[in-house]
Structure 1
Amino acid sequence: MFDGRSGVAGRLSAEGLSLSGALPVFTQSAALCYRIKCGAPEILLITTRRAQRWIIPKGWLINGLSAPETAAREAWEEAGVLGKCGTESLGRFAYVKKRSNNASALCLVDVFPLFVQQMETRFPEAGKRRRKWHSPEKASAKVSSPELAALLDGFGGHTH
């Protein structure tokens, strides 16, 4: 797992992997959007725009915003949620992104917890994605990335 708390994380930096020359490496930021319902955490998953696979909101780092601020912005744009975003990463996962010029890139995604306080029906990508709440275990089973699945499965909610 690409977890920020493991010894592996030091070897999985964008800079270190870029030097390996295999693929270009980019850093992204993601929001693990959650709520507490009946005393248990629920995680919000959204679909990708094209393939309709289940993911969490994520995107490229935004100039002038920190990684957690970027995660919160992506949560608004892609899922229509507002809330309190934690400043400490829960961990990191990696995936290979196929870009429009058909060149692949390795993306390292830092995941930040976002306690959902408000959910809107009108938001920038409302007509392009579906969204659904799941238990951590069910959310884990729905995503294709094993590293993200491990982060979701191990999520127990945070102080909000």
Structure 2
Amino acid sequence: MSVLHQSGVIPYRINRGKLEILLITSSSGKRWIVPKGWIALWMTSVRSAAKEAWEEAGVTGTVTHSAIGSYKTRKWGCPCQVEMHLMLVEQELETYPEAGRRKRQWLSLSKAIKRVQDVELKRLLKHMQTIQLDQISQAQSV
């Protein structure tokens, strides 16, 4: 059985010197997650992650070329590899493809960790606690 591939972003901003994470609701509205989706054959992981951020959360910005982490999961009974990148949000749009289907909320990193239920996403957010803000900023792609 072949492995399916997804990519996503952990959208963040610095607000008054504090790191904030943007969470969105899942398509069912029951869980708080970050934007992620299938990688199209003609797209890189980074471009696909940026596309998902715009479609699901209405944000654009700078996405790291190197992933902050990855994890394995199962989707529709198939093995799936998910690669997650950081996105420094530069623009938050009011109109975007899934605006009527999802809620979004900016939270401190510690509150975001408490809000998400997904174990792997929680692990990646906890990893962000160990990274200094200047290191996060330097990790951004050009």
TM-score range for the pair, normalised by the shorter chain length: 0.7 to 0.9
- Moved segments of 4+, more than 2 Å: 93-97
After TM superposition, the structure 1 stretch with the greater mean CA deviation from structure 2, 26-35 or 43-52, is 43-52
Deviations 1:17-66 (A, max 9, x none): x5xxxxx5311001110000121211111111114211110000023221
Give the match for residue 118 of structure 1. 91
Question: CA contact under 8 A between 1:52 and 1:129: conserved in structure 2?
Answer: no
Q: Which amino acid aligns with 2:47?
A: E
Question: CA contact under 8 A between 1:27 and 1:60: conserved in structure 2?
Answer: yes
Unaligned runs of 5+ in 1: 1-17, 19-23
Give the match for residue 58 of structure 1. 36
DSSP-derived class of the 2:23 partner: strand
Q: Percent identity among equivalent residues?
A: 39
Match of 1:130 among 103, 106, 110: 103
Distance 2:72 2:116 in 1: 13
| Structure number with larger C-alpha Rg | 1
Correspondences of 1:82-97 after superposition (within 5 Å): 82-97=60-75
Number of aligned residue pairs: 133
Question: CA contact under 8 A between 2:7 and 2:49: conserved in structure 1?
Answer: yes
Q: What's the CA shift for 1:93?
A: 2.3
Correspondences of 1:23-42 after superposition (within 5 Å): 25-42=3-20
Correspondences of 1:120-159 after superposition (within 5 Å): 120-155=93-128, 156=131, 157=133, 158-159=136-137
Unaligned runs of 5+ in 2: none
Match of 1:75 among 53, 58, 68: 53
Give the match for residue 14 of structure 1. none
